[in-house]
Chains A and B, each alone.
Chain A
Amino acid sequence: MQANTGLPKQLCDLTVLFVDDSLTMRRIIRNSLEKIGIHKFLEAEHGAMALELLQKHKVDVILTDWNMPVMNGEDFIKTVRRNPVLKDIPFLMITTRGMREDVLLAISLGINGYIAKPFTSNILKEKIVKLTLSKKTAEPKLKPEMLNSN
């Protein structure tokens, strides 16, 4: 589902796709989503698996890890952004502190936000709300100069 339909949405209406090769991380993300009231989610272990899911399901926001086997975050977002149907889905990058270069690259590829591990479910909620609910149009893509304020 495109995020720019303009209709205000509840968190519980959102479908979130999260992509991470670590089973522990997937469990942590799943737990936090449920905690903040999101119960519709899809999970994938890497970009290629996520792309398959995107063909079959409408997704409102994507959370993705960066360093993954088979298809990493970089190739994944490039593919999504090139796809006319999927290109506007907001992307939230999951990263760790100190991965500045990765974040800069991700920004140049069009992520809409990033979140550093370890994060709390409240922070995750804020980020998701910011990307999906508060604006009539999709959150403008991040620019490198915004990096420090985040």
Chain B
Amino acid sequence: MENLAAKQVPDEVLNDFIIEANELIDQVNNDLLEIELGNYGEEQINRILRAFHTIKGTSSFLKIKESTKIAHTIEDLINELRRLKIRPSPEVIDVLYNTIDWYRKLIIALESQNAYDKNIKNLLNDIQNSLCAVENNSSYSVPVPSDREDLESSSLKLSKITENTIRINVENLDTLISLASELVLEKNRLLSIIRSLNKKKNCNDETSKLENLYITLGYIGNEVQEILTQTRMVPISQIFRKFYRFVRDLSRDKHKSIDLVFGKEDPRIDRSFCEIINDLLVHLLRNAVDHGIETPEIRRTKGKPEQGTIHLSAYQNGNQITIEVQDDGMGISPAIILQNAIQKEIISATKANQMTDKEILNLIFKPDFTTLTVASQISGRGIGLDVVKTNISKLNGTIDIDTKVDCGTKFIISFPVTLKILAGLAIKVVDEYFIIPAYAYYDILKLSECVIQESSGQKKVHYKNSQIPLISLAELLNISDGELQKEKYVIVVAMAEKRIGLIVTELFIHEETVVKSTVATKSKVPYTSGTTIRSNGQMALILDINKIIDWGYREEVAVI
């Protein structure tokens, strides 16, 4: 007998299945999370049931027997919970999470056309045992609030969103954004033409019409760009929520009791950031669980509540997003960091005496520091922190640390909302153009008015009661020498609390440019992070201020 899912499943059906199963499993994951957070109702349980029901049906066509079997058994389990109106116990939730894991692996295997895990005996047993436990003993369970009206109104609300939502291929979207960006560039070229017309004193009716056109075009272009950029954005909670389980499992593993609390705000971030943010949060949260929060016994002796708390929050301030990871653990002692840094000859003892606590704490982001194996409270603290820092520089962001012994540690990460469009200051170094990102530049000084000192080969400029490193971009970027007399300005740039002065030849007005190469393709020119086309059609490189600042401060720490 022929079968439409026979041996060869059409690619399109398999693709649909992969997309759909992935979405359904994500949604089940979210519903389980809600249940764990105490929002347990018919809505969640019905959605979970429907998800597995759909998967059961579709995988039967694809002849993925294991999936059909698991989904069927889960369906029985959920049906029983629903029938008895009971809340699943932590054990049942664990089984459901394990099921999700199996499906995630299945989806990855199908996507990469690899064999999937067919050994489902243990999982099936676990599900069946849960089912028996639910049937036999519902004493641990709490009745489900059954609020039919609520359920109906909320499911209707949901339907409106789904009806107005369509799926788009990300590549198409990126192309659209790219095109919209070109529009902005062309608009900037128009401005150049208008300016040159004005300069030639050719001002007439036509020029002012052109100017009006420029304004309208600008308005439309901005709207298009804004909406498209919004489309690329995802709420940060999408990343955060996944960590609830991560922290829960990890702390259970370490025999610690830790509550992960999310902040109230939910800013949206560029979707291309998700992976990077995810990676660095893995490091920071693992560190917090492993080394930050003490064991319940130790916490008791310190007079702290046995359960530790990690606050994970994010907020938006203008064009900056800030993420904070704060634990109420043991904190990090600058004295111990310093002691180890001296021991490992990362810094000299004389240098150490001059360092502020803040500077000392920043040592933990040094790659060298991570190789330290210190049997003390900071062991492991350094591990991966340079990785964190690398990831943050990919976002053009900064990381800061705030810590107090026995009170806890807070990591503060800030980065611009999107990498695609960059507002910046165009500068000229000798005869080449560069862009300094708007989030980094701080102040502009006239070189002729600066007080410059030179000590041990490094120039410093006096700026607001302190000496900051002064770097000649022409020297740093190796641009033809002998023209230094042309330099006119010092631009003060800042990341976190580090400031640096950059000597440049010329400045141009603030302009919006579109970053051509982003995270994936880093520019090969040192100290730059991408390229862009300026309004006059000239190419400009975007300066990687993070790297330049690191270079400026490197001397200070490493010279012994």
Residue in B58, B63, B155 whose CB lies within 8 Å of A69 = B155
Whether a CB of chain A sits under 8 angstroms from the CB of B16 is: yes
B-contact 0/1 string along A2-29, CB 8 Å cutoff: 0000000000000000000111110110
Contact check, B50 vs A117: say whether CB atoms are below 8 A apart: no
Q: Which of B3-11, B138-146, B195-203 makes up part of the contact surface?
A: B3-11
Contact check, B13 vs A24: say whether CB atoms are below 8 A apart: yes
Known: A69-B158, A118-B5. A27 touches B60 (CB 8 A): no
Total number of residue pairs linking A and B with CB closer than 8 Å = 73
Q: How far is the CA of A49 from the CA of B160 in the complex (A)?
A: 11
Contact check, B3 vs A118: say whether CB atoms are below 8 A apart: yes
A39 to chain B, nearest CB (A): 16
Contact check, A120 vs B58: say whether CB atoms are below 8 A apart: no
Contact check, B57 vs A25: say whether CB atoms are below 8 A apart: yes
A-contact 0/1 string along B39-55, CB 8 Å cutoff: 00000000101100110
Residue in B2, B49, B72 whose CB lies within 8 Å of A121 = B2
Taking CB atoms, residues of chain B closer than 8 Å to A22 are 20, 54, 57-58
Residue in B1, B4, B50 whose CB lies within 8 Å of A32 = B4
Contact check, A70 vs B159: say whether CB atoms are below 8 A apart: yes
Q: How far is the CA of A96 from the CA of B50 in the complex (A)?
A: 13
A4 to chain B, nearest CB (A): 30
Q: How far is the CA of A27 from the CA of B16 in the complex (A)?
A: 8
Whether a CB of chain A sits under 8 angstroms from the CB of B499 is: no
Residue in B1, B47, B56, B57 whose CB lies within 8 Å of A122 = B1
- Chain B contact patch, size range: 20 to 34
Taking CB atoms, residues of chain A closer than 8 Å to B19 are 23
Taking CB atoms, residues of chain B closer than 8 Å to A70 are 155-156, 158-159
Contact check, A120 vs B2: say whether CB atoms are below 8 A apart: yes
B510 to chain A, nearest CB (A): 46
Contacting residues of chain B (296-326) with chain A, CB-CB under 8 angstroms: none
The residue of chain A having its C-beta at the shortest distance from the C-beta of B160 within the complex is A70
Contact check, A96 vs B53: say whether CB atoms are below 8 A apart: yes
Whether a CB of chain B sits under 8 angstroms from the CB of A137 is: no
A34 to chain B, nearest CB (A): 10
B30 to chain A, nearest CB (A): 15
Whether a CB of chain B sits under 8 angstroms from the CB of A136 is: no
Residue in A31, A48, A67 whose CB lies within 8 Å of B50 = A67
Q: How far is the CA of A69 from the CA of B47 in the complex (A)?
A: 8
- Chain A contact patch, size range: 20 to 34
Contact check, B3 vs A27: say whether CB atoms are below 8 A apart: no
Contact check, B4 vs A28: say whether CB atoms are below 8 A apart: yes
From B63, B158, B162, residue with most partner A Cβ within 10 Å:
B162
A41 to chain B, nearest CB (A): 15
Contact check, A24 vs B4: say whether CB atoms are below 8 A apart: no
Whether a CB of chain B sits under 8 angstroms from the CB of A35 is: yes
From B2, B49, B61, residue with most partner A Cβ within 10 Å:
B61
Taking CB atoms, residues of chain B closer than 8 Å to A48 are 159
Taking CB atoms, residues of chain A closer than 8 Å to B50 are 21, 67-69
Taking CB atoms, residues of chain B closer than 8 Å to A84 are none
Whether a CB of chain A sits under 8 angstroms from the CB of B17 is: yes
Whether a CB of chain A sits under 8 angstroms from the CB of B12 is: yes
Q: How far is the CA of A28 from the CA of B60 in the complex (A)?
A: 11
Contacting residues of chain B (49-108) with chain A, CB-CB under 8 angstroms: 49-50, 53-54, 56-58, 60-61, 63, 72
Taking CB atoms, residues of chain A closer than 8 Å to B60 are 96, 117-118
A45 to chain B, nearest CB (A): 8
Taking CB atoms, residues of chain A closer than 8 Å to B162 are 45
A-B contact pairs, 6 of them (CB 8 A): A24-B13, A25-B54, A32-B4, A49-B163, A69-B47, A117-B60
Q: Which 3 A-B pairs have the closest CB atoms?
A: A118-B60, A24-B16, A70-B159
Other A-B contacts than A25-B54, A35-B4, A120-B3, 15 sampled, CB-CB below 8 A, are A22-B20, A22-B54, A22-B58, A24-B17, A28-B58, A31-B13, A32-B4, A49-B163, A67-B50, A67-B53, A69-B47, A96-B56, A117-B61, A118-B5, A118-B63
